[in-house]
Structure 1
Amino acid sequence: MDQKRMMDVFHFYQWRILCFTLLLYTVDGQIRYTIPEELKEGSVVGNIAKDLGFGLSDISDRRLRIASDTGKQYFHIDLGRGELTVHERIDRETLCSQTVPCLLPIEVIAENPLQLYRIEIEIQDVNDNSPTFQSHERILNIPENVNPGAKFPLDKAEDPDVASNSLRSYSLSNNDNFKLNVKNQDGKKIPELVLDKYLDREKQAVHKLILTAVDGGNPVKTGTSEIVITVLDINDNSPQFEKSFYEGSIDENTTPGTEVIRVKAIDLDEGLNGEVEYFYGEQSTDATRELFDINLETGVISVKGQLDHEKSNLHTFDILAKDKGSPRMEGHCSVKIKITDVNDNAPEIVITSLTSPIPENSPVGTVVALISAKDADSGENGKVKVEVASNSPFKLNHSLSNHYMLVTNAHIDREVHSQYDIQLNAVDLGSPPLSTKKTISISISDTNDNPPVFTQKSYVVYVKENCPPGSMLSSVSAQDPDVEKNAQISYSILGSTSQEFPVSSYVYINSDNGSIFSMHSFDYEKIKVFQFLVQAKDQGTPSLSSNATVHVFILDQNDNVPAVIYPSLAMGSVSHQRMPRSAKMGHLVTKVTAVDADSGHNAWISYRLAEATDSSLFAVNLYTGEVRTKRSVSEQDDASQRLLIEIKDNGEPVQSTTVTVDILIEDGLHEPISDFRQKATERDKKNSKLTFYLILALASVSMLSLLTFFILLIKCARGTRGSPSCCLRRNSDGYKNPNRNLQIQLNTDGPIKYVEVLGGDMMSQSQSFGSYLSPMSEFSDLTLVKPSSTLDFKDTLRGLDASLPDSAWTFECQQVSTIFSKHRTVHIFTQYVVCGLLTVVATFK
């Protein structure tokens, strides 16, 4: 029942301490709690979130946690309540031994942003240990002739508790010869057995006493040791030390064999009873015996092992001096040796927390790591300074004692450095100073800060017309120095930069590799060049892009057969021509005209007489297609002649066509013009009013043409110097090549009257547009012959102009002659009217 009562009192006392001594106070900006040891797991130490100024919602957001250097987690943070609770059993004696107060530092880390708090927990002692003796039995041999008052040291009891719970007193069981004396040495109570009365071995040879050690706890705890005293007869003097207490100090790096202290004891006896030998006391620890050696004969205490101030800075032990008498007498003294610290420990760098990787767009001052430094030495030898290498964009900010924050000090670009190996240098303040280095690696994560860049600003693609659909035209490529999704590029076509048609109808692009393919075959005769924009876009957030222009030039292929524009197909498959039998050599019979929709060499047209009724009579000009007589027509020549004319281009392979011309040679056809004039005169008399109106109209048009000529001549004089043959030149920003020209030429040689409109340059075959007057036509109608029956003259000019966007057209009126034979009176007017009308059409086109 007494033991149960004592335990109840103990628990009451323990909770009383918890309730009344749990204090919160701040020292030097730190939070300190006070708790008793041996608290149960889960016991609340304090509301750390409230004390640190955190709300309950901030605890999870900031990820409040405890960092431990020892590997043991004595405390835990309840993230739901913000309370600091006990996580493991806390034994003050294990943590602090005899140190008072017993402070247990912990580090609390909050993230987002990263912040360190230092908390101190003071562990108060409870009376959970009883005083104990190293040995439960102490044997003393005391001669019977020892005088009263002799003192005999007893084993002292040890109590790991501190303050009021530590050892308080000793008591000795009742007896007639001995009493107990307790002395204080260095704050410790050491019991001594004092002889009170002479011993009489004959009356009692052995005395057994009980030594009790009592602590100051509530309830008190005790420990006992039995003292067995054997009464000896003889050798009545024991060795006596010159000093009862010896003290010395030595550096921790002292080499073995160095003398520390010399003790000396004197025995007044003679002979063997006076010869003294020195021994360690029975309570000397094994650690002391390994570090120090005592000379048996001289009492010299010397260094035996390797001393370490950081493990133990003070060694206290007893020395016995025994004589060689029988029984052997002994004397006692105490020795205290202090170990002086030397700077023999290099600093240690501890990475408390590290954030890696960090984004490359992190602002200056971003906390990357929490770093602490410690040194096992003491005093100045234990003070540490940490620095970071100056060649990195990071710096150290000092927070608390020996605690630092590694922060960014400059802009970081992953494309320049994707990883930094940061070297930390820690140096203590000892003499000489010791240092250590530690390297931490920090990776830089990518952000989408670089747009894709094309290998070329613009691409030029040449593609042959009639290429099969789906053919790869070209490939564009862009590069992005970013990584992963930020560097994944997709290609797309934005649209045409100049054409009105949707470019998606012509080409498409592979979004993955930038390959450009045709949607269908190209026709050079419809489109010769176009351009479009290609966009390269990465997959970052937000995505970045860049554009490049692709110029596509269609290369002409000889895929068009020369088209005969005169004689017209509307006149039939065979052209019927008439000529007088009086025609001389070189007489122009007719002119075959053909055009080729191709360009360049593919459009160069040549004419050849393939078959003829009489090949000696006619010849065809290779380049103009004019059919002329090779000799004078004779009476023997057949009246009906048939010519088969072959028209070929200059392409590869050659494309050709043929036209058949029937020529009727007639007698008496040498005066067709007179008959025509006579008929025209009669018709003019009948239609004088119509002629008058026509003259007025032609005069008006002529005036307009003259005015236009003057304007064009002025513009031509300003636009071109040294070009007297220019009748009109139109220059614009889009037309720069003066070699392109459009010539209007009238030919009256022979019975066929025609006007040629020639367009081209120095390097290509001219395209010809002709108007023809048949001598057999009663009204001599003006007929415009064109390369395509679906285009009128204005559309033809527009087509030529659009096909040459980089050229300027120059319309040259070199020679204009009459094409009318109906009204000779307006011959000179018609000459200007025709040139003027055609020029005006070309100008306003």
Structure 2
Amino acid sequence: MSCYLKLEAILENPLRIFNIELEIQDINDNAPQFRREAIHLDISEATPKGERFSLSNAVDPDVRINSVKTYSLSESDHFNIEVQTGRDGSKFAELILIKNLDREKQAIHNLILTAIDGGTPARSGTVSIIVHVLDTNDNAPTFDKHNYSLKIMENSPIGERFSLSNAVDADVGINSVNTYRLSESEHFNIEVQTGREGSKFADLILTTTLDREQQAVHNLILTAVDGGTPARSGTASVIVRVLDTNDNAPKFDQPTYNIKIMENSPIGSLVVHLNATDLDEGSNSDLIYSYSLYTSEKTQETFNLNPSTGEITVKGVLNYEDFRIYDMEVIATDKGTNSLSGQCTIKIMVEDMNDNHPQISIKSFQSPVSEDIKLDTVIAVVSVSDKDSGDNGVVDLHIPDHMPFKLRESSDNYYELVVSEPLDREKVPEYDITFTVTDRGSPPLSDNETMTLELLDVNDNVPQFPQSFYTIRVMENNAPGALLSSLTAFDPDLHENQYLVYFILEKEIANTSMSMLFSINPENGNLYALKTFDYEIEKEFLFHIEARDSGSPPLSSNVTVHIIIVDQNDNAPVIVSPWRAHGSVVEEKIPRSTDKGSLVAKVIALDVDSVHNSRITYQFLQVTDANLFSLDQYNGEIRTMRMFSYRDPRHQQLVVVAKDNGQPALSATVTIKLSTVETAVKAYSDMTEVPLEYDIFSDLNLYLVIGLGSVSFLLLITILVTIVLKCQKPKASKTAPPCRNSVISERNSTIADSTLVSNDAYWYSLFLKREQPDSSVVLKLAFEGGLFSHVLVSIFVSTATKRAGSKF
């Protein structure tokens, strides 16, 4: 480009005009300049290598050689330039990408573009090229850890926020973390927050109340999602551990304990084991038991509470009559901070034992009264009480039947005695009204109070007993002088006409007077036993007791008394088979070839006690070989359990004990020594299965015939003697009858020194000597004779079977 300055020059003389063109030649006095101070380029990090980007060219006012000649770029690993010449000859540069960009490594590239002219000296101008690397979604959000643990108190309020570690995304802008998501949870949610620089982070928000006791650990999945297309995500596990707070009070198994305990419970016995549970953990669930309230100091004196175990035990003596119900409240307190407690109510009811007699008190009594007293008139007020409870404390008040009076309940435990029938002094001049109060315990206890109602009249009434027949049971071996019963009669007459005297009407039983056996208190009718009774000798007595007043003439009445002697187990069994001398050992022989199941011996024991006490059972006390013999516990049969072998010893000793059924049981023993012998005779296990030899069968028949004949003979003799004694008239005894006690002692000494056979012989001789035997004695002799015969048959059969060498 040329620069000319056009001028006109005018000359006056002569006037002339000249056109002048003045060419101005350029010098390099201007440096190249860029229109902007900086060139900003936005290039995606996904741009491929070789991509070109146009740059603004520099301007230099100089021309020709002094104008922009070339461009240069500051050193860069990613960019280079290429100088291009325009159509007008101007120079410009293109920026070329020579290496892929990575925004996450370098987000901005600062370059310097220098434009240089061609002058001498050369001048230059620079401009900053700022390359902004545009992000692409090539990175997923990541957490610094895969698992995060978060501890939250279970009493945290709803809405409380808990910061979580935010995810990091190397990308920026919309490609960075855009939002967070939380796995489904009913207790937690997240809220996405935006930081100052636009970063996203999440707060964990509590949406519902936590309860460690229901769920102690919550496993959550936190997901970070960016905003790229397509979106990328990263996950992390969030473990929320709910820390326990002392928010659960201890709770007892039941809120109210109703406990019954007998008043005789020993000190230290367990009353109740309280059990409280606390759903918390650690020290929040460690419990201490204590009283919170009790009715009186006596509660703490009577019961002990173990603070660690919750056991309540008896500490003092229990007495229902002193204190019946103990009310207390027990609390269980945990050891946590701000400790909580639960409580239960305990009612300990002392159960009564029937250890207190009912009490009766006559509050008022009107006597004497006129025989024309009006009906329904109150003549007495009686109160009753019993310190026991329940049935033991429920009392019933009675007066004797068939009296013209009745009891009417006026108030609680108060009764009025009123006239229910017209009174006639001529019929009943005086009433002994006995108030009897009885509780309903087991056994029942009773008390009585007697009042005498007098009617003004004369003595025209006989004494009367409340009962016409008394049945009194007396345990044998009673102590002499023991009170049997109180037989009280009453006489409605007045003064000396009502004074009664009791005595026993004389009656002889087996030459023994009743006054030698029993005694009655003449004043109060108490009946006593004068001797010790033996059930095996005397089983009952029937006699009369008379009550006689002191009037003139005296009047009297009597009552029948039936004394029943109750058996005790005071007689040990007596072994009658196999027979043996006193204290000796029974020796038996048995073939060594005896079959299995063969009868070896049969033990028979008798007991003279009553049926219950005389039931006999048998068992081995000692046996040489327990696998060789068996014993039937009911019939006493000893049988072989197997055949003898060559290893078995020849001599076997069996000790059998026979026990009765009494309490305590009494017993007798027998020792049987068995010797096995070699014999050619075969032992048969069952006589009915294999026929016996003719001679053996004949022997057996002979013994059976002898036994049966003996039984028949003895029975016949017994019947004939009984008939003769019944037909014979009794003769008056000239001499005093022998004392029954001497007979008893004589029999006892005989039993102690003789065998059963000699005992029976003694009774038979006694029977023949007696001139006036009682029918009960005859029946006893007949029974014992039959029993003796049974024993003889057993002995005969046993002997026969042994001789025959067979099982019976």
TM-score tier (shorter): 0.3 to 0.5
TM-score by length of 1: 0.34
TM-score by length of 2: 0.35
